[in-house]
């Protein structure tokens, strides 16, 4: 058993017919070819310089928001930041950052 090749994450959430297969840089739908339907679903393994774990990707596929992940780097400012991730576009697998307001800095309601 190896975790880096041959891992199958399950059916493609976008088309439901393909399976997500691993390539060097991403998990993508097996039906990406135009003659197979041209499914664009892709989840990049590395987001803002941070490599995601299979467990985190499985969370995203399940429609969940991940725990806060540390060590992202803003490509412009080079600033390191933390965020949670979720799938922003279920048709393409586009990932969005979710920034949690800091509880200790939160304003008190009322």
Chosen residue from 22, 27, 28, 29 binding Zn ion by CB under 5 A = 29
- Is 72 in contact with 47 (CB distance < 8 Å)? yes
Look at residues 26, 28, 29 and name the one whose alpha carbon lies nearest to residue 15: 29
**Is there binding between residue 15 and Zn ion (CB under 5 A)?**
yes
Helix (H, G, I), strand (E, B) or coil at 89: strand
**Is there binding between residue 41 and Zn ion (CB under 5 A)?**
yes
Can you tell me the distance from the alpha carbon of 37 to that of 76, in angstroms, rounded to the nearest whole number?
36
Helix (H, G, I), strand (E, B) or coil at 34: helix
Chosen residue from 28, 39, 56, 87 binding Zn ion by CB under 5 A = 39
- Judged by CB under 5 A, the stretch of 33-41, 65-73, 81-89, 90-98 that binds Zn ion is 33-41
The distance of closest approach from Cβ of residue 12 to Zn ion in the complex, given in angstroms and rounded to an integer, is 3
State the residues that interact with Zn ion by CB under 5 A: 12, 14-15, 18, 29, 31, 39, 41
């Amino acid at each position: 058993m190896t975790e880096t090749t041959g891992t199958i994450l399950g059916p493609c959430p976008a088309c439901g017919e393909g399976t997500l297969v691993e390539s060097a840089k991403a998990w993508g739908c097996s039906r990406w070819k135009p003659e197979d339907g041209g499914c664009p679903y892709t989840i990049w393994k590395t987001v803002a310089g941070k490599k995601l774990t299979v467990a985190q990707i499985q969370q995203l596929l399940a429609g969940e928001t991940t725990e806060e992940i540390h060590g992202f780097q803003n490509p412009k400012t080079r600033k390191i930041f933390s965020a949670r991730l979720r799938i922003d576009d279920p048709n393409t697998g586009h990932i969005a950052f979710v920034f949690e307001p800091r509880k200790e800095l939160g304003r008190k309601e009322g």
